């Protein structure tokens, strides 16, 4: 029930972000754009429609010659010419409408992006400058009620931020220095407190700028599948071009002179004009749907590739869990009091700006009360690194406090030739087996005890992972925690496997191994230590709330910072592939019906035996050809909603998808044209045109 509710909310939210399919303004823009796209340089990008346009030009010339010579076939030639131009314009309209939807979203984003006054820190003092004058590395102060001028990272302070202009979510989020929740986006507004932001985006290269460029189609590239289909369609067009070219001399052999408009009509009806007309619209609409889901894809390839993903790597902290682990309890070793451990843990965490470090300090203050120590001036902070996996503080008197992962601390103690206290291993294992993270604390070389940090899973994560598994996707959790903690969290979250005590190079090695086995890997993360893996993965989805390094490394950015967003991304990718496959099936299938309409009509008078192929019982050769052409033209705008909205996605196996497409779109692609062409023929003959 919870899953259904979550999905419903997401769908409603996405729907509210999209403009209506046939909104008046979008239709007006698309209409005029359809004529502008008649430029041969633009049409050449689509071989099928380019051939159709050339055919329309040839029939236009034929009509002019017929008109000058007062030919009796002038009306027929005019009808063919008009229908061919309508076919080309309908195809352009489909692509133009998809582009217009993107530009409508771009205009909305442009209204969000505006020049604002920023308080730049110069020699420690705020100086007002325009936001477009800021450079990478500049520090700015943003207070409550002010807009963040451009993308950056919080380096000091914490504040609640309204990101509704970017994400569509009204609920504010907390952004703070340290950890993986430091990323801020230009155009968002600070609601409380004050933060210092280091600018990470060059002018004109913010996420808003990229989103605008994306939805305007400036950086859209054809996907591998789309390129392959384009080549296939071009091959089919060439084949039918050769076939059509042989019919004229064949007709002369049977004493039948086939008119140029008839041959062109046959060619246009036999080549896959339906899918050729809708191909670009399908690709553009896929990116539109990704953006509606609040996913910024850096290329169209990433969107479609997501549909073929079979392995998903997820960072634990901040992705599967809430990210901010909280210190829950102190576990001193034998001979050490809880007060002594709390004091040492507090000192070790004074230089730790992460939420975990702050929570240790808070818990220690509760235990120590009034006797809690204060920060000592001139102390040296030992920063946390992915390699050392520990941090701490060195006091001016040389006393060294450190905390970190149990194996790192134990190795550190052994290097100092000190002994480990009895029972430490059992305490660490007990904490880890409960799903908490054990943090070992030492003073100089002496181990004092363990701090238990609790991870909190994001709501509904297990149910959504079950959906991914139903799609055939294997889920692997990556964490720096020890195997016991990792195992407990993995079980709670419902993942298929986990990699414990993972360093950045371990993530890379795993991804490369899986890729070498022919798997497509998606990686989701939010931290700087995730950046190499995000860059290596086939699909790298970074959390918008994460660090700038992570966002730069990925080829997608989830603006909602939802780790399960990949479900929607995969569905969009699969929907894109399924839509293209379904409409291709329909396009090729309806060529069968048009074949039975036109071929008998062309030769029926000269070769009466061909009348057996006139299974639709069409009235006259001219009405048969025009009926097929008219149907070929009107089916394109009728399929625009499917091309732009996509076929309904249902989780199913590839063979099931193929059977469904053949049954619905294959059989439908044969039956609908038969009925449609016959109906149009009855109308044409009924009104006495032919």
Q: Which two tokens stand for residue 272?
A: 């896959």
Rounded-to-integer distance, Cα 580 and Cα 558, Å: 25
270 by Cβ neighbours in 10 Å (0-12 / 13-18 / 19+) ranks as buried
Task: Say if CB 121 and CB 196 are below 8 A apart.
Answer: yes
Tell me phi and psi for residue 147, to 5 degrees: -90, 140
Q: 327, 453 in Cβ contact below 8 A?
A: yes
Residue 610: Cβ-neighbour burial (10 angstroms; 0-12, 13-18, 19+): middle
SS3 label, residue 557: strand
Distance CA 194, CA 192 (A): 7
User: Looking at the DSSP assignment, which residues form a beta bridge with residue 327?
Assistant: 453
Half-sphere exposure of 146 (CA within 13 A, CB side): 21
What does 636-657 look like in DSSP terms, one character per residue? Answer: HHHHHHHHHH-PPP----HHHH
Structure tokens belonging to residue 313: 């790597």
Name the phi and psi angles at 484, rounded to 5. Answer: -65, -50
Phi, psi (degrees; rounded to nearest 5) at 409: -65, -45
Which residue in 58, 355, 45, 335 sits closest to 179, CA to CA? Answer: 355
Beta-sheet pairing, 139-143 with 117-122 = antiparallel
Secondary structure of 564-578 in HEC code, one letter for each residue: HHHHHHHHHHHHHHH
315 noted as active-site residue: yes
Residue in 643, 649, 647, 648 with CA at minimum distance from that of residue 98: 643
HSE-CB at 110 with a 13 A cutoff on CA atoms is: 11
Burial of 467 (0-12, 13-18, 19+ CB in 10 A): middle
* Nearest-angstrom CA–CA distance, 432 and 429: 5
CB atoms within 10 A of CB 130: 12
The helix or strand, by DSSP H or E, that contains position 543, with its residue range, turns out to be strand 539-543
CB 113 within 8 A of CB 186: yes
Instruction: Return the SS3 of 494.
Output: coil
Place of tokens 């000058």: 68
How many angstroms separate the CA atoms of 69 and 30, rounded?
37
Q: Give the integer Cα–Cα distance in Å for 125 and 119.
A: 9
Helices and strands (DSSP H and E) totals, the chain: 24, 22
Among residues 451, 636, 547, 557, which one has the least CA distance to residue 200?
547
Give the Cα separation of 622 and 257 in Å (integer).
14
Q: Counting Cβ atoms within 10 Å, is residue 632 exposed (0-12), middle (13-18) or buried (19+)?
A: buried
Q: Going along 147-297, which residue ranges are E strands?
A: 152-156, 158-162, 173-176, 183-184, 189-190, 194-199, 295-297
Alpha carbons 63 and 71: distance in angstroms, whole number: 9
Among candidate residues 315, 352, 538, 558, the one labeled active-site is 315
Would you name the residues annotated as active-site residues? 315
């Amino acid at each position: 029930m919870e899953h259904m509710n979550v999905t419903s909310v997401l769908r409603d939210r996405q729907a509210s972000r999209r403009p209506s399919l046939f909104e008046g303004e979008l239709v007006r823009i698309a209409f005029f754009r359809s004529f502008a796209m008649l430029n041969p340089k633009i049409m050449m990008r689509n071989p099928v429609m380019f051939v159709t346009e050339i055919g329309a030009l040839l029939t236009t010339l034929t009509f002019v010659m017929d008109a000058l010579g007062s030919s009796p076939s002038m009306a027929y030639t005019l009808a063919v010419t008009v229908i061919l131009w309508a076919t080309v314009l309908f195809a352009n309209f489909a692509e133009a409408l998809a582009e217009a939807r993107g530009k409508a979203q771009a205009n909305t984003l442009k209204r969000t992006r505006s020049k604002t006054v920023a308080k730049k820190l110069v020699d420690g003092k705020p100086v007002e400058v325009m936001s477009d004058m800021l450079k990478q590395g500049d520090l700015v102060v943003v207070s409550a009620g002010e807009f963040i001028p451009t993308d950056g990272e919080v380096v000091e302070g914490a504040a609640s931020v309204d990101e509704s202009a970017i994400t569509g979510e009204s609920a504010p989020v907390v952004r703070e220095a340290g950890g993986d929740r430091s990323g801020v986006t230009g155009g968002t507004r600070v609601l409380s407190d004050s933060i210092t932001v280091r600018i990470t985006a060059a002018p004109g290269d913010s996420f808003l700028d990229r989103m605008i460029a994306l939805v305007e189609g400036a950086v859209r590239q054809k996907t591998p599948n789309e390129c392959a289909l384009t080549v296939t369609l071009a091959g089919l067009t060439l084949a039918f071009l050769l076939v059509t070219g042989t019919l004229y001399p064949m007709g002369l052999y049977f004493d039948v002179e086939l008119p140029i408009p008839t041959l062109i009509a046959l060619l246009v009806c036999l080549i896959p004009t339906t899918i050729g007309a809708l191909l670009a619209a399908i690709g553009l609409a896929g990116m539109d749907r990704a953006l509606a889901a609040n996913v910024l894809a850096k290329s169209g390839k990433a969107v479609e590739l997501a549909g073929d993903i079979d392995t998903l790597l997820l960072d634990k902290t901040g992705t599967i869990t809430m990210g901010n682990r909280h210190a829950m309890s102190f576990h001193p070793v034998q001979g050490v009091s809880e007060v002594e451990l709390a004091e040492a843990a507090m000192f070790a965490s004074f230089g730790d700006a992460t939420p975990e470090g702050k929570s240790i300090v808070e818990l220690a203050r509760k235990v120590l009360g009034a006797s809690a120590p204060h920060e000592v001036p001139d102390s040296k902070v030992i920063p946390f690194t992915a390699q050392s996996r520990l941090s701490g503080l060195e006091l001016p008197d040389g006393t060294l406090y450190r905390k970190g992962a149990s194996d790192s601390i134990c190795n550190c103690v052994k290097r100092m030739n000190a002994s480990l206290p009895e029972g430490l291993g059992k305490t660490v294992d007990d904490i880890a087996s409960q799903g908490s993270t054990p943090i070992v604390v030492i003073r100089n070389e002496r181990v004092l005890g363990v701090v238990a940090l609790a991870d909190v899973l994001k709501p509904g994560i297990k149910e959504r992972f079950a959906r991914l598994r139903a799609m055939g996707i294997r889920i692997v959790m990556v964490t720096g925690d020890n195997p016991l903690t990792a195992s407990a969290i993995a079980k709670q979250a419902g993942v298929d496997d986990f990699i414990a005590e993972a360093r950045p190079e371990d993530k890379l090695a795993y991804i490369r191994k899986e890729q070498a086995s022919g798997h497509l890997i998606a990686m989701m993360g939010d931290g700087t230590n995730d950046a190499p893996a995000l860059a290596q993965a086939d699909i790298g989805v970074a959390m918008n709330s994460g660090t700038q390094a992570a966002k730069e490394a990925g080829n997608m950015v989830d603006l909602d910072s939802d780790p399960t967003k990949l479900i929607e991304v995969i569905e969009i990718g699969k929907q894109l592939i399924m839509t293209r496959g379904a409409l291709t099936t329909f396009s090729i299938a309806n060529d069968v019906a048009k074949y039975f309409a036109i071929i008998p009509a062309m030769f029926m008078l000269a070769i009466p035996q061909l009348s057996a192929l006139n299974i639709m019982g069409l009235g006259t050769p001219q009405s048969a050809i025009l009926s097929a052409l008219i149907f070929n033209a009107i089916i394109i705008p009728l399929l625009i909603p499917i091309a732009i909205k996509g076929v309904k996605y249902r989780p199913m196996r590839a063979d099931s998808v193929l059977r469904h497409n053949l049954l619905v779109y294959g059989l439908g692609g044969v039956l609908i044209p038969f009925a449609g062409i016959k109906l149009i023929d009855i109308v044409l003959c009924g009104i006495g045109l032919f």
